[in-house]
Structures are given as C-alpha cells and as structure tokens.
Amino acid sequence: MIPKARVIAFYLPQFHPIPENDETWGKGFTEWTNVAQAKPLFKGHHQPRVPADLGFYDLRLPEIRDAQAKMAQESGVEGFMYWHYWFGNGKMLLEKPFQEVLKTGKPDFPFCLGWANHSWSTKTWVKGKALQKDKMIAEQLYLGEEDYRKHFDYVLPALKDNRYIKVDGCPMFVIYDPLAIPDMKLFIKIWRDLAIENGLKGIHFVGLRSGRTSSYDKLMDMGFDALNSRGMWEAECAAVGNKWLKILRSQISFRFRGALLQKYQYKDIIKYLFSEEDKKENVYPTILPGYDRTARSAREAIIYHGSTPDLFGKHVNMALDHIKDKQNEHKILFLKSWNEWGEANYMEPDIKHGRKYLNELKKRIF
C-alpha cells in the first residue's frame, strides 16, 4: 500500500547521559530528568508526561532503538531525522546513538540528518528559574570553509548509507537555523561540490522556516532546495487575535516569570498551522501531536492545551489536503516529533493515550 505522504519524524538523541550534562546538571542527567519533574500548572493540564511501552529509556540500548523504528514503521513513518550537533572543529554532543545506528546497520530503517545549529547553554534543556546565571555549555561556531569540509567528511558515511533518505535522488539534509549561518550560500556550495566529488548526485538542502525570522524567498535565495514550514508563530498570533497581542503576552510572561501563562488550545492552533504556502512543491509542512514546554520552562512555557488523538487525526487530514497535488516524491510531512518529551510533542506511547496517536497517523497515511 502506497502511503499518502512521506512522514519524516524529528528524533531527539538526548536520552542518555553525557559528561557535559553530568558536569552541568549532576550525574545521570538526561531529558527524562525534566520530564519526570514537570508539574501541572492549571486544572486539566496533562503533566507530567509518563512513557508507557518503552519506559524511561536509554538510547545507548540497541533494543530501544529497534523498538522505536518498528513502532514508527508500522504507523506510517518513513524514517527518522536525527538531530545532529556540530559546534565547529569537530566538537559534537549526543552523537553516540546515531553513530551506533550507522556502525551497526541497525535498525534497518530510513534516516536523514538535521543540523541543530544552536549553542547549548543552561537555558537549553531546563527551566531557568533555578539558575542564577546563564552558562554556556557548547557554543555554536561557524569557522568557514575548512570546518565545513571537516563537517562534510564526518557526515559522508551517513550520506552514502543505503538507508539514507533521498529526495530527487539526493540525500536530504535539514538545517535548523539557516539565518544563523553567516555564509550559508558558501556552506551549501561546498557541500554540493563535495557530494558530487564523492559520487553523490548532490544534497537536497531543507531549511527550517520560522514565521518570526525568515521568509520563503529569503531561504530560497540562500540556495535551499526546499523549506520545512512550521507555522507555529503564525498560529499563535491568529489564536489570540493578532501578532501584537501575541508579542505582548510573550513579553509579560518573560518579564514577570510566567505570571501570564502562554496557553493556547490545540484545537485553535491546528486551524491556523497551514497556509497556501504549504501547497508549494518545495515546501514541506509540519504535523504536530502537541506542544508544551512545561518540563523545560515551567510557568514560562508555551503550552498547547487539549490535544487528543482525534484532533491530531483531523490535523493530519488538513496536512494531507495541502500536499495532495504534489509529486509523490515531494509529499513530505515533517513530524514534530518522534520523542521530544520535554516539549510534549512525541508519538511514543504514554500512560494516558497509549498508541492512539500512532493509530491515528496510521489510519490516515495508509
């Protein structure tokens, strides 16, 4: 059975201890530390989020990675997009799970990489209220041509792996924050040239577009082949009435440490997540089972309240309607996310809904 969309799920490799997190937060810290400590902020608030089938897992275990892939494949997910951290000059974090996937050939499940090109600080993973001062853990650097070549050489074995996801015959590579890279055009040119030199057809570059900071034209002018539209900023603005109210609410929350919760109804958000732009051949929309950063930000979190499997299913139908006229190769939906438990956007079973979100996706994709 041919799926109605190529669903590619963002995959966070944060669920295993590393020395940098041990040093900053204490021995054994992972994203689960925040998830387990989250508290409900209002009546009916679904916190904390507790995993079911896979438990509070450790991504160093191949059995967990295999189970994730099997669950995803059965539900209509084509593959995982592993977030990849390259801070410059070979500095990486959280690389072990994907390195094991690449080295062992397991799971036999498609994948691609996304460069999460942002600095890590003490505000990255946990709520800031317990901190006296923001501390840099790993700064994102852009060191120019030589470093871009080193980065490519590191990624090349993955690009040549037969599991790597391709679009129009080229391996797909996603960039989280295109505007942060001072010489984006140079980076793209170097990587495309190196790909061809190494026997690949090229690279299919996808830039993530956030409504506040970038436009379709700006990203395409940088040399991207396509963009991943997220639509969350626009949806939040529409849900409260206009962007000025949204900005005011955000400023009040930030200035007064969450005195005004940034809370939205999921049913309202999904009305506005998509736009006519998502119908363009080279725009890949985002589907979102939920969003709630309480585990990381406490009262300063943005919260989409009231997500249900049924509403998620309707949301997927809206997305499918926006891509139905595209070539099959380009009927791509990015799923945010497979396992972002700290942001409450995940598809893995929890004790409240079990596999219902997975079942809703499966019903609509097949």
pLDDT at 126: 58
Find the length of the chain: 366
Domain assignment present for residue 342? The answer is yes
Domain assignment present for residue 252? The answer is yes
pLDDT at 133: 62
Distance CA 353, CA 338 (A): 15
Q: Give the CA distances from residue 31 to residues 18, 56, 294, in Å, rounded to whole numbers and listed in that order.
A: 11, 10, 12
Q: Name the one residue in this structure whose structure tokens are 């791509």.
A: 332
Q: Which two tokens stand for residue 14?
A: 């944060």
Residue 139: partners with Cβ closer than 8 Å, 6 or more residues away: 87, 119, 120
If one counts the domains in the chain, the total is 1
CATH number at residue 337: 3.20.20.80
Q: pLDDT, tens digit, for every residue of 33-86? A: 999 999 999 999 999 999 999 999 999 999 999 999 999 999 999 999 999 999
Residue 260 pLDDT more than 50? yes
Domain assignment present for residue 359? The answer is yes
Domain assignment present for residue 1? The answer is no
Domain assignment present for residue 200? The answer is yes
- 323 and 333 Cβ atoms separated by less than 8 Å: yes
Bridge partner list, 332: 6
Q: pLDDT averaged over the chain?
A: 94
Q: Give the CA distances from residue 310 to residues 45, 49, 81, 139, 314, in Å, rounded to whole numbers and listed in that order.
A: 18, 19, 25, 41, 6
Q: pLDDT, tens digit, for every residue of 217-247? A: 999 999 999 999 999 999 999 999 888 888 8
Distance CA 16, CA 59 (A): 6
> Given pLDDT bands bounded at 50, 70 and 90, which one contains residue 125?
low
Domain residue limits at 237: 6-365
Domain assignment present for residue 210? The answer is yes
Determine the distance from the C-alpha atom of residue 187 to the mean position of all C-alpha atoms in its chain, rounded to a whole number.
22
Q: According to the 3-state scheme, what is the secondary structure of 147-183?
A: HHHHHHHHHHHHHCCCCECEECCEEEEEECCHHHCCC
Q: What's the pTM?
A: 0.95
Domain assignment present for residue 166? The answer is yes
CA-based max dimension of the chain: 58
What are φ and ψ of residue 293, in 5° steps?
Answer: -90, 20
Bridge partner list, 173: 113, 205
Domain assignment present for residue 283? The answer is yes
Higher pLDDT: 257 or 213? It is 257
